[in-house]
Amino acid sequence: RRIADGAVHVPGWLSPEQQRWIAARFRGWAAGPVPPRAAVLPGGHPMSVQTVCLGWHWQPYRYTREAFDVNGRRVLDFPDWMVRLGRKALAATGSLPETAAAYTPDTALVNFYDDAAKMGMHQDKDERSAAPVVSLSIGDSCVFRFGNTESRGKPYTDLVLRSGDLFVFGGSSRFAYHGVVKVHPGTAPQDCGLEHGRINITMRVTGLS
């Protein structure tokens, strides 16, 4: 379960019913005012994942309140149920009860991976907070690469993230390089609510107002 300082993996934390419920929320966001989009990197290349932002709109590499790069609409609210889920997630990884209860994420990036999508090694440092990131996966499994804080290269650890898995990145792991090497198509469990592809939710504290 403990992968590194502050990095805790809890396989199968979400029940199939919770996975189906969240997959249905994703379909709602996808049909909503700010649909999933592939963010375009500063070099002009679109990312291969499709992202829905909640609370704050993320563009490489800043947070805004309006989705200027999609359709200019105001960003979707960060739902209360996700704050509660984030607190439960921290509690489940053994953080102090008072720390878990005070955790108040204000943004989430909800990434959809098709069969070919991946995410290169990067650090998440657009937030002005060192609060932990909570990650939840639904659908196809993937190879997740968890690296070090110095560079994109070795040493790193590859592990498989499956539908229902929880991962929390706090402490010195918060600013570690990480990425998604590949998705394993066709591995989504029958009962997860997603027929193909992979959803990953990362909740964060932006430290912005």
Footprint of ligand MD3 on this chain (CB under 6 A)? 109, 111, 119, 124, 133, 135, 167, 169, 173-174, 176, 178, 180, 200, 202
| Torsions phi, psi for 70 (to 5 deg) | -110, -70
**Beta carbon of residue 17, minimum distance to ligand MD3 (angstroms, whole number):** 22
**Beta carbon of residue 114, minimum distance to ligand MD3 (angstroms, whole number):** 13
Tokens representing 26?
Answer: 């994703």
Burial of residue 81 (CB within 10 Å: 0-12, 13-18, 19+) is exposed
Cβ-based nearer residue to Fe ion, 134 or 193: 134
Cβ-based nearer residue to ligand MD3, 100 or 119: 119
**DSSP letter string, 36-101:** -B-PBPTTSPBPSSEEEEESSEEETTEEESB-TTTTSPBPBPPPHHHHHHHHHHHHHTT--HHHHH
**Beta carbon of residue 17, minimum distance to Fe ion (angstroms, whole number):** 27
User: Any idea what DSSP says for residue 31?
Assistant: T
Whole-angstrom distance, CA of residue 113 vs CA of residue 147: 21
Cβ-based nearer residue to ligand MD3, 54 or 109: 109
Residue 50 interacts, among Fe ion, ligand MD3, none and using kind-specific CB cut-offs from 5 to 8 Å, with none
**Beta carbon of residue 135, minimum distance to ligand MD3 (angstroms, whole number):** 4
Closest-by-Cβ residue to ligand MD3 is: 200
Tell whether 57 is in a known binding site: no
Q: Which residues are annotated as a binding site for Fe cation?
A: 122, 124, 178
